[in-house]
Amino acid sequence: MKRAAIYARVSTPDQHLENQILDLRKLAAQRGFEIVREYSDRGISGSKAKRPGLDALMADARRGEFAVLLVAAFDRIARSTKNFLEIVDELNSLGIEFLSAREAIDTSGPMGRMFITMVGSIAELERSLIVERIKAGMRRARLEGQRLGRAPLDIDRESLVRDRLSGMSLTETAKRHRVSRATVVRLCHDAQRQRVASAA
How many C-beta neighbours within 10 Å does residue 188 have? Answer: 18
Q: Which amino acid is at 169?
A: S
Helix residue spans in the chain (DSSP H):
17-31, 52-62, 74-77, 81-93, 110-143, 157-165, 170-177, 181-199
b/e code 55-64 from CB counts within 10 Å (16+ = b): ebbbeebeee
Of the residues 11, 45, 47, 198, which is catalytic? Answer: 11
Stretch (H or E) spanning 37: strand 34-42
166 is catalytic: no
Catalytic residues: 11
